[in-house]
Amino acid sequence: MSAIEVIKTRRSIRSFNNKAIEDDVIEEILDMARVSPSGGNRQRWKFIYIKDSNILRMVKGCCPGFYGDAGGAIIAGLENEADTLKTRSNSTIGLLDIGFATENILLAAHALGLGGCAIASFNSSCISKIIDSPENFIPVLVISIGYPDIQPTMPPKKKLSDIVYINSWGKKWRRLENRE
Ligand SMILES: Cc1cc2nc3c(=O)[nH]c(=O)nc-3n(C[C@H](O)[C@H](O)[C@H](O)COP(=O)(O)O)c2cc1C
């Protein structure tokens, strides 16, 4: 698949078959998080791969938004340095960093025949307790991962002409209007 095809056909996966995730495959996916862009290239992130089925069950118990019997999960979060603890700009940049890394994870998973879903609906202190993380680690997203048992169709997306203006606010770009 070309990069464009991978981006276009990626879907949030909420239903998985029971094929085990090979360690070398997840390692490759996690490496795509490692090379993601980050503000100032600070890479303040940590990714905790949940492979153990008992721990995975406990993680799922903390996540009302976690659907399906995924073979694994990744907790993506920020490790704050003492001097930057929760300052607004830093936390905004940090959240963006996790967003970029998560998309790389989801795209890499899809390219390798797996799938997953970004999950923001979780109880942060519950996750921190299960993974035994220090206080300066903030879980930002949980990512389910596994082999999809169905390939969902694309949910409704807005038309390009509804979300793109040209040169100034509100000015429609004519050429986009005939596009699906
Ligand atoms: C920041 C963020 C948080 C999300 N949280 C959840 C969640 O808690 N549970 C869930 O099932 N999906 C969650 N999703 C997935 C979205 O529902 C999904 O991306 C959206 O419906 C579009 O579908 P698509 O990813 O297949 O294009 C989240 C996505 C993002 C980007």
The 10s digit of each residue's pLDDT in 55-107 is 999 999 999 999 999 999 999 999 987 655 555 555 899 999 999 999 999 99
Predicted model pTM: 0.95
pLDDT at 126 over 80: yes
**What is the pLDDT confidence band of residue 178, given thresholds at 50, 70 and 90?**
confident
The 10s digit of each residue's pLDDT in 8-49 is 999 999 999 999 999 999 999 999 999 999 999 999 999 999
Q: What are phi and psi of 74, to 5 degrees?
A: -125, 130
| Ligand 1 near 67 CB (within 6 A) | yes
Residue carrying structure tokens 């998973």: 109
Q: Quick one: 42 exposed, middle or buried, by C-beta within 10 A (0-12, 13-18, 19+)?
A: middle
| Ligand 1 near 64 CB (within 6 A) | no
pLDDT for the residue 80: 83
Cα 118 to Cα 65: distance, rounded to the nearest angstrom: 9
| Ligand 1 near 120 CB (within 6 A) | yes
The partner residues of 73 in beta bridges, in order of sequence, read: 50, 144
**Cα 119 to ligand 1 centroid, rounded to whole Å:** 6
Please give the sequence-ordered ranges of beta strands (E in DSSP) within 87-151, or none if there are none.
115-119, 137-146
pLDDT for the residue 86: 53
Mean pLDDT calculated for residue range 130-144: 96
Closest CA to 19 of 176, 149, 119: 149
Cα 33 to Cα 166: distance, rounded to the nearest angstrom: 33
